[in-house]
Structure 1
Amino acid sequence: MGINETAAAGFGSAADVYERGRPSYPEGVVGLFCDQLGIGRGTTVVDLAAGTGKLTRLLVPTGATVIAVEPVEAMRAQLVALLPDVEALDGTAESIPLPDASAGAVTVAQAFHWFDPEPALAEIARVLEPDGGLGLVWNERDESVPWVAELSTLLDWGERRPYRRDRDWGAVVAASGLFTTIQHRQLSYQQELDVDTLVERALSTSYIAARPAEQNVELADAVRALADGFPARFELPYVTDVHWCHRR
């Protein structure tokens, strides 16, 4: 199966905007993955659908051998430019270009919602060693903050939005029968940015980037209006959802 058309179009046209506008992840994410998935020296971790390497670059200091897999050429080019020592492969979650039992862990940041779950989980299980770990992470805007809720309203483009916060990822993984019961923890994160970066954060959203350009001019104006009166530097708060389990 190939990459989702909306993801391919949006991320392919906005890879540089994605790199500038998207947040990193809390330090605690990699700490959890090291503790719970055994990531560290002597292990191989596959960062699947790695994008521009937002999580990849945090995995490198663990000492693990990190392999990035990313199907969108423009995103992969950003990753290679930023992380030239990381092996970066062209591949999808449903067709991972690695041998059986070749990874101690697989991580997926801000991307599992794009996958076709049944074949993707089967492929992930295939490349994992016995008892190998799977880690999933999403940064979600903290909509308990009023202005952030307004921003999310601007970005919610109906049914084109691929990720729903109420999706039970534990049930999705459990349905495969290939993994242990999924564990979950929430962390907090603050992305420091300015108005221009906030606009790029909005425009980096795949289903937004895939829209006609004139619609996004209007969106950029609306985001600037929302941030009118903000200080030169401010914080966009996130709730970071972290999930992990092991191959049976």
Structure 2
Amino acid sequence: MSDPTHARRASSFGARAAAYAQHRPDYPREAIEWGLSGTSGTPRRVLDLGAGTGKLTLGLTALGLDVTAVEPDPEMRAELERAVPSAKSLAGQAERIPLADAAVDAVFVGQAFHWFDVPDAMTEIGRVLRPGGVCVPMWNYEDESVPWVAEFTTLGRDGARRPASVENMREVTHPAFEPFESDRFRHTQRRTAESLLETIATYSLVIVSAPEESAALLARLRQFLSSNPATANGEFDLPLITTVLRARRRRGNFALDLDQSGGSTLGS
């Protein structure tokens, strides 16, 4: 990646791997099933790419799928292997996936697609997917249609705001893939004020910020949570939205398609 700040943030999560594993939300089953339903035929072999600590890996294995998880960070991968010992865990990157051609029926990406070098990653995903297989990026974010949640994320926008690039991902095109479709799924995570703050502390911009800046952000958010009626007294449900994209791998001569088109594009 050419942007050193982006690269630093992308590689920052290992420092908070244990907290990430404990506090980040999982993914709703219906969102995973919607992604899988874009596959032609019955999906069996699935890749979780940029798998982190295995939050999405767990949901995939719960469906009885044969899951391979690829994650570059050793601390994150160690948490994944503890959480999901039934999944095959490999070191690797989206731009250099350590799998054979047409090895899987689906490639899922939880909370990581915006960190990839997207054109190169889409080419690699297309290589390891069988024709008719599906690429499924997913993101969990707070449901800002709920007033107190919108106020909370606005207050913490320096560290808690979703990357603008997530919306741009809808416009990704690649000759090996049909256009992306999208859907959204509501769910909740049981939280306390402190566990929610622990989650915010796993966000990349908070991790890489100067300690005094991170402390000031978390203090602002703690004050809000202690005075907000919905969050001030013990446990509460944090409303979440899971945004899911899916694009089916085209049939035909992938290599020829790439030669003729010149690769993939990210629409403006």
- TM-score exceeds 0.5: yes
- Provide closer, same or farther for how the CA distance between residues 53 and 40 of structure 1 changes in structure 2, counting only shifts above 3 A: farther
Match of 1:208 in 2: 206
Distance 1:20 1:154, change over 3 A: farther
Corresponding residue number in structure 1 for 2:36: 34
- Larger relative contact order (Cα-Cα within 8 Å, sequence gap ≥ 6): 1
Q: Could you say which residue in structure 2 is the equivalent of 1:169?
A: 169
Give the C-alpha shift of residue 73 in structure 1.
1.3
Q: Which residue of 1 aligns with 2:152?
A: 151
Deviates more, 1:89-98 or 1:22-31: 22-31
**Residues 1-38 of structure 1: CA deviation (Å, up to 9, x unaligned):** 799221212x0211112122211112211221333236
| Aligned ranges 1:65-84 → 2 under 5 Å | 65-84=66-85
Which blocks of at least 5 consecutive residues in structure 2 are unaligned? 251-268
Q: Which runs of 5+ in 1 are unaligned?
A: none
- Counterpart CA distance in 1 for 2:189 and 2:40 is 28
Cα root mean square deviation, aligned: 2.2
Are residues 17 and 39 of structure 1, via their aligned partners in 2, closer, same or farther at CA, if it must alter by over 3 Å?
Answer: farther
- Residue 266 of structure 2 aligns with which residue? none
1:46-95 C-alpha deviation (Å, 9 max, x unpaired):
00001111110010022221000011111111101111221111111111
1:17–1:91 distance in 2 versus 1, CA, 3 Å: same
Secondary structure of the 1:219 match is helix
Quick check: which has more Rg, 1 or 2? 2
Alignment of 1:128-147 (within 5 A): 128-147=129-148
C-alpha deviation, 1:231, in angstroms:
2.2
| Count of aligned positions | 243
Q: TM-score, normalised by structure 2?
A: 0.84
Superposition map of 1:171-186 within 5 A:
171-172=171-172, 174=173, 176-186=174-184
Quote how far apart the aligned CAs of 1:169 are. 2.3
Q: Deviations over 1:104-149 (max 9, x none)?
A: 1100011111111100000000011111111111112111223222
- Distance change >3 Å, CA 35–CA 18, structure 1 → 2: same
Q: In the alignment, is the contact (CA less than 8 A) between 1:39 and 1:105 conserved in 2?
A: no
